Structure 1
Amino acid sequence: MTDAVLTLPDGSALITMGFVRGAVGIRGWVKIGSDTEYLDSLLDYGTWYLIKGKQRVEIEVETGKVVNNKELQVKFAGCDDRNQAELWQGYTIAIARADFEETEDGEYYWTDLIGMSVINKEGIVLGNVHSLLQTGAHDVLVIRGGEHGEKLIPFIEHFVGEVNLEAKTIEVEWGLDY
């Protein structure tokens, strides 16, 4: 999934990271569809923003668990029965970008790469990062919007040079005929 960026009234970014699939059990728990690399990554954040249409609700996660290594379930504070839990079905889950942990050198959140301009060593703009693909071996940048057509560039040191988050540019070793 391509991360969608929303904003809070103060202008800070919210990053969509999943959705509420529906209620589970009778004690207010919900099933979560997570768009994170690890199923339980959303549990690193105590405050979630639930969004549906023009509605946006800030909610505290009381507790959560991974069931059978394949399903994330959470209980929101104040949500104590199935009827309350069912009301959250279909809401998108967003996390404040400011709550993300700092990355190590050479590590990037996908959401920070989306929209960056990609320029090859010859100074030719190939387009902008539209999304990323996870292939198992390595991530792949999906580049669109340039006059040279869509490009798929492996996000590995051999092809990717400087990533400048401030300038929003990525320098790559990638020819027009690749």
Structure 2
Amino acid sequence: MNAPDVGQRMITVGRLHGAFGVRGELKLESFTAPENAILRYQPWTLRDAQGRERMVEGARGRAGAKGLVVTIPGIEGRDAAEAMRGTEILVPRSALPPPAPGEYYWVDLEGLRVRNVEGVDFGVVSHLFSTGANDVLVARGDRERMVPFVEPDYIRSVDFDAGLVTVDWDADF
């Protein structure tokens, strides 16, 4: 399987949750594993709730009790940090390392067609989410179907060249 052409597609890798202390530090929820890997994928594009974007580089961070605590150049004081609440952190998909064999970035699966082993078209991968027990692939077509992302039990194959995920899942379920 070849990786998809990811180009400069931007993906969300974290979210700022407001001020930490009074010196401009911020609470950061990282969507990377391990969570501090987000610091390696700079520069970041910061997107606020109104959709305005700006690029920053040189953010530093440390582990906090409930996630990362970061400093971002240009953010001084509690009020400036609090104004960043809800800001998303985006990076180009190409900044991330290639996934290990048999592993996938969820963003790479989004948009692929989903068909079951009987040839029934389920639509396209809308998104994935984690239940704790396993990840779940959500396919949207004539209706929404949720398929446990368990290989090879339910996810039989992922073919990026064909743009297709083949699943062993009952079309009526």
TM class by smaller structure:
0.7 to 0.9
Q: Which moved more, 1:111-120 or 1:43-52?
A: 43-52
Tell me the residue number matched to 1:151.
145
Alignment of 1:26-37 (within 5 A): 26-36=22-32
SS in 2 for 1:82: helix
TM-score (norm 1): 0.81
Is 1:56 the counterpart of 2:53 in the alignment?
Answer: yes
Q: 1:153 and 1:172 mapped to 2: Cα distance?
A: 8
Q: Give the corresponding residue for 1:75.
A: 71
Contact 2:17 2:85 in 1 (8 A): yes
Structure 2 CA distance for partners of 1:67 and 1:54, relative to 1, 3 Å: closer
Larger RCO: 1 or 2 (CA < 8 Å, sep 6+): 2
The alpha-carbon distance between structure 1 residues 104 and 39, as it changes in their structure 2 partners (threshold 3 A), is closer
Is the contact made by 2:129 and 2:135 (CA closer than 8 Å) also made in structure 1?
yes
Distance 1:174 1:38, change over 3 A: same
Kept in 1: contact 2:46–2:89 (CA 8 A): yes
Q: Aligned residue for 1:8?
A: none
Q: In the alignment, what sits opposite 2:169? A: 174
Task: Work out whether residues 48 and 61 of structure 1, in 8 Å CA contact, stay in contact via their aligned partners in 2.
Answer: no
Residue matched to 1:123: 119
The aligned residue for residue 3 of structure 2 is none
Stretches of structure 2 lacking an aligned partner (at least 5 in a row)? 1-6
Contact kept, 8 Å, 1:118 with 1:125, in 2: the verdict is yes
User: Deviation at 1:108?
Assistant: 0.4
Distance in 1 separating the partners of 2:131 and 2:81: 35
Alpha-carbon distance between aligned partners in 2 of 1:19 and 1:108, rounded to the nearest angstrom: 22
Q: Partners in 1 of 2:86 and 2:59 — Cα distance? A: 20
**Alignment identity in percent?**
36
CA contact 1:61–1:74 (8 Å) conserved in 2 = no
More strand by share: 1
C-alpha contact 1:49 1:95 (8 A) present in aligned 2: yes
**Aligned counterpart for 1:160 among listed residues 144, 155, 160:** 155
Give the match for residue 102 of structure 1: 98
After superposition, the CA RMSD in angstroms is 2.1
Equivalent residue number for residue 113 of structure 1: 109
Structure 1: stretches of 5+ with no match in the other structure: 1-10
What TM-score, normalized to structure 2?
A: 0.83
